Structure 1
Amino acid sequence: MTRPAAGVAGTHALVYDAVILAGGRATRLDGASKADLVVDGAPLLDRALTASAAAREVVVVGPPELADGLGKARPATPRHGAVPAVPPGPMPAARLTREEPPFGGPVAGLAAGLRALPAPGAPWVLVLAVDVPYAVHAVTALEHAVSREPGDGAHLVRDGRAQWLVGLYRRAALDAALDGTDAHGASMRRLVGALRCTEVTDPAGWSDDIDTPADAARLGVRPDR
C-alpha cells in the first residue's frame, strides 16, 4: 500500500547502504554497456556512484569488466549547463558482484547486491538503476520522505508510474519480501508493490531511464568518454 508524499520537511541523518543495478542486457541499445554511456561528461556508472555518495557501503551488480570503472578519478566536463556534471576526483569506493546466473533481472540483481553488503547491514538501502542519469537529484527527496514517514521506504513516481529502481527501502522489509521468492525473473512490482512505501512524485524526470536510442538522445548521451 502506498501513500503520496507531502511537502519536504527537515531530515535527520539516515544510515543506508546502496545497491546499483548495472547488469542488464540493453537489447534495445544493441547490447551497449549502459554503465559506460556518457551524459554531461561522465559515464552513467560514475553518476550512480556519486548519487550514492552518502551511503555507508556501495555494491554494484554487473559484469566483471565494470571493476575497472570503480574508484577511478575522471574529469567531468558539463555539456549542457542545466544539470551539474559529476565532480572530478575519485568516485565513492564500491564493491562489484553479480547475480548467478547472469541477466536474472532487477530482483535477482538486488538480491545479489544485498548478499554482497557487509554484515551487519545498514537499516536502509538505496536502490538505483545505473541507466537513470539524473537520480542524484532524487536522493535528498527520498531521504526526506523516509525521515518524515518511514514505513518500508520511498520511491519515485513519474506520470503515475512507480519507479521502483529509484528508491530508498528499509533493509528488513526487502529481506522479508525476498524470503522464499525465486528472484530470477521476478518483477520489482511484485517484490516492492506490497510494501508500505511513500510515493515521491517526479515532475522533473529525475527517474527517466535510458532503454532506447531515443531515450539516449533525449537524455543527452554522447558517444565519447
Structure 2
Amino acid sequence: MGDQGTADFDVVVLAGGTARRFGGADKVLLPVAGRPMLERVIGAGAAARTVVVVGPQRPLPTGAPTVRWTRERPADSGPLAAVAAGLELCGSAIVVILAGDMPLLDSTVVRQLVQAAREASDVDGAVLGDAEGRRQLLAGAYVRDSLRRALAAIGDPRDLPMRLLLDELRLATVRDPRAALDCDTPENLARADEMATNPLSAPRRWE
C-alpha cells in the first residue's frame, strides 16, 4: 500500500464472482495485456491507506498491495450491497469505488478522482465519464460521510442498482473514456486488451 502518512483515501474494489456472458468464468481474473483485471484494478488503487476487495478471496501475486477481503450480505446481492460492505472497513474521508472489471484504470485516474472529490466544496464526489458522456458510478471518489448518508436514505441495499445514488449525491465528472471502459462482454474485454497493449489505439482523455 501507499505511504501511510500521506494517503488520505481508501479504495473499495468490487469483485463479484462468475459472469454469465463469460461462460461462468471468474471475470475479474481474465487477463488484459497479460495481467488479471483484478490485479490491474488493485494496482490502480495501491496508494490508498486501505484497499478493500468485496468478493470471493482470490490469490494475489507476490508484491501485490495488501488488501482486506469482505463480502456482501448476503453474498452476490449486487454492487450497492458490495459498496455498503466495503464502506464498513473504510476510515478515510474519501472512499474510491472501483469496479474489478475496469482494467484500464490507473493510479493517475484515481488521483484525479480523489482530487476532484476533495477540492470541490459543492459536490459529494467525482466519477468517471465514458465516451458517450455517461457517468460510471463504479469508478468514482466519494466523500465517505455523504456516501454513508446516501446509503442510509436508500435503506436495504440488497439487489438494488447503483443508479439510486444519483438521487442522493451531487457528483462531478472526470472525463476519461479510456479508463471508463468496463468489460461487460467478451468484445469489451478484447477492446481493453488492445488498448492496454497499444495505448495509442484510443484517446487517453477528453480535454
Residue 194 in structure 1 maps to residue 168 in structure 2: yes
Aligned to 1:10: none
Q: What are the within-5 Å matches in structure 2 for residues 1-225 of structure 1? A: 15-64=8-57, 66=58, 68-69=59-60, 72-73=61-62, 90-117=63-90, 121-136=91-106, 137-150=108-121, 151-158=123-130, 159-180=132-153, 181-203=155-177, 205-220=178-193
Aligned to 1:85: none
2:124 aligned partner, one-letter code? D
On the 8 A contact 1:177/1:192 being kept in 2, the answer is no
How many residue pairs align between the two structures?
185
Runs of 4+ in 1 over 2 A off after TM superposition: none
Aligned to 1:5: none
Per-residue CA deviations over 1:167-196 (Å, capped at 9, x if unaligned) read 000000111011151101111111244311
On the 8 A contact 1:17/1:124 being kept in 2, the answer is yes
User: What is the TM-score of this pair, normalised by structure 1?
Assistant: 0.77
1:132 aligned partner, one-letter code? M
User: What is the TM-score of this pair, normalised by structure 2?
Assistant: 0.83
Question: Where do 5+ consecutive residues of structure 1 fail to align?
Answer: 1-12, 74-89
Q: CA deviation at 1:24?
A: 4.5
Q: CA separation in 2, counterparts of 1:184 and 1:216?
A: 28
Aligned to 2:197: none
Q: CA deviation at 1:161?
A: 0.9
Q: CA deviation at 1:101?
A: 1.5
Q: CA deviation at 1:25?
A: 3.7
Secondary structure of the 1:127 match is: strand
| Larger proportion of helix | 2
Q: CA separation in 2, counterparts of 1:41 and 1:131?
A: 15
1:91 aligned partner, one-letter code? A
Question: Where do 5+ consecutive residues of structure 2 fail to align?
Answer: 1-5, 195-207
Higher RCO (CA 8 Å, separation ≥ 6 residues): 1
Comparing 157-166 with 13-22, greater Cα deviation is found at 13-22
Secondary structure of the 2:88 match is: helix
State percent identity of aligned pairs.
Answer: 43
Q: CA deviation at 1:63?
A: 1.2
Alpha carbon RMSD of aligned pairs, Å?
1.8
On the 8 A contact 1:48/1:135 being kept in 2, the answer is yes
Q: CA deviation at 1:14?
A: 6.2
Q: CA deviation at 1:47?
A: 0.7
Per-residue CA deviations over 1:103-125 (Å, capped at 9, x if unaligned) read 111100011111233xxx10010
Comparing 130-139 with 165-174, greater Cα deviation is found at 130-139
Pair 1:105–1:195, CA change in 2 (3 A): same
Per-residue CA deviations over 1:141-187 (Å, capped at 9, x if unaligned) read 21332243142110011112110011000000111011151101111
Q: CA separation in 1, counterparts of 2:16 and 2:143?
A: 23
